[in-house]
């Protein structure tokens, strides 16, 4: 089956724009998405919308048309992937205080101030600048699956931890060219604005994020190492489409390169870890011998029946070469 014939699409999108009543928007939006058969996660806040959904080509076309007919979202950019089925199990539409949880003492508004946008070719060129530093604006576990060559790994597991980490560790970089990136761009809008607020002088962001960089026909994802973490059942998607593409993550059991990111099936652990398909089967998705022996294990009774239908591994787990 060619990629053009895949019957489903995944849409990734956001827009910073004033939303007067996020709760009302959620109610209307939930009704819209249910009528179209869309699944995914959509957040509304007073500062805008942040969403990712999957659905048929007809449904996603109708959704995009509907959103672009709204004056608030006429120019909203949809990043599109094609798939063979839904990549979400359910639909969640929720109001939030922030589109991405930052919890700054003094909030930043990307509509007023944000880092300079770089297109994929501009980003790739600046990567070679000796005065530039690259900061990953995602979490440590996302970096571990894949990242840009030379990018600083943030030792945080939540976006709200970035301000303290920056203040404690990055003051010496304020005179550098600071390049920031994230999955689709929404976190960098805020993160780059925060850096400017903190006194960083020359701040840039990858416009459209990693997913856009990987689709550029000229750059082809060059200098991105590993895979890109996504928050749906695919878990990982390819970025680098050059001959240098390779995995950077390895199975915690046998050391084999793998992009299978799974949660330990021991209820008292649930550690997210890399594990190859063979070891997943052999250890019953356990991250250690101790976890495999635990009586509170999803693959053991009385829990096994409940979790029998639930896949512990991502739906798509091809190697980098297959992707």
Q: Would you call 182 a catalytic residue per the annotation?
A: yes
In angstroms, what is the C-alpha Rg of the chain?
A: 20
- State the first-to-last Cα distance of the chain, in angstroms, to the nearest integer: 14
β-bridge partners, 55: 9
Enclosing H/E stretch for 264: none
Enclosing H/E stretch for 127: none
Q: Which of 14, 79, 236 is nearest to 147 (CA)?
A: 236
Q: Which of 235, 244, 242 is nearest to 275 (CA)?
A: 235
Q: Which of 185, 184, 38, 20 is nearest to 95 (CA)?
A: 20
β-bridge partners, 93: 42
Of the residues 26, 33, 182, 269, only one is catalytic, namely 182
Calpha distance 23→231 (Å, rounded): 23
Calpha distance 75→237 (Å, rounded): 26
Q: What secondary structure letter does DSSP report for 3?
A: G
Taking CA atoms, 182 is separated from 21, 204, 304, in Å, by 28, 12, 37
CB atoms within 10 A of CB 114: 21
Q: Which residues are catalytic?
A: 182
């Amino acid at each position: 089956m060619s990629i053009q014939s895949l019957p489903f699409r995944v849409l990734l999108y956001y827009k910073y724009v004033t939303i007067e009543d996020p709760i009302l928007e959620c109610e209307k939006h939930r009704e819209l998405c249910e009528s179209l058969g869309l699944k995914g996660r959509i957040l509304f806040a007073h500062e805008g919308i942040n969403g990712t959904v999957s659905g048929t080509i007809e449904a996603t076309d109708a959704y995009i048309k509907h959103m672009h007919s709204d004056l608030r979202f006429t120019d909203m950019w949809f990043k599109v992937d094609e798939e063979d089925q839904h990549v979400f199990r359910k639909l969640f539409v929720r109001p939030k205080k922030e589109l991405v949880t930052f919890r700054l003492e003094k909030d930043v508004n990307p509509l007023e101030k944000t880092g300079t946008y770089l297109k994929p070719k501009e980003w790739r060129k600046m990567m070679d600048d000796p005065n530039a530093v690259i900061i990953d604006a995602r979490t440590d576990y996302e970096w571990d699956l894949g990242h840009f060559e030379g990018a600083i790994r943030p030792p945080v597991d939540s976006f709200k931890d970035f301000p303290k980490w920056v203040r404690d560790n990055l003051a010496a970089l304020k005179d550098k060219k600071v390049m920031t990136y994230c999955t689709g761009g929404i976190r960098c809008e805020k993160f780059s604005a925060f850096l400017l607020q903190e006194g960083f002088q020359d701040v840039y962001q990858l416009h459209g994020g990693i997913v856009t960089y990987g689709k550029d026909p000229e750059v082809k994802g060059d200098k991105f190492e590993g895979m890109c973490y996504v928050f749906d059942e695919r878990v990982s998607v390819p970025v680098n489409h050059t001959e240098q593409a390779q995995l950077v993550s390895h199975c915690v059991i046998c050391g084999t390169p793998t992009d299978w990111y799974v949660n330990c099936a021991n209820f008292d652990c649930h550690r997210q870890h890399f594990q190859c398909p063979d070891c997943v089967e052999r250890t019953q998705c356990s991250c250690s011998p101790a976890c495999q022996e635990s009586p509170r294990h999803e693959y053991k009774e009385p829990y096994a029946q409940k979790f029998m239908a639930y896949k512990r591994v991502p739906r798509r787990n091809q190697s980098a070469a297959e992707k």
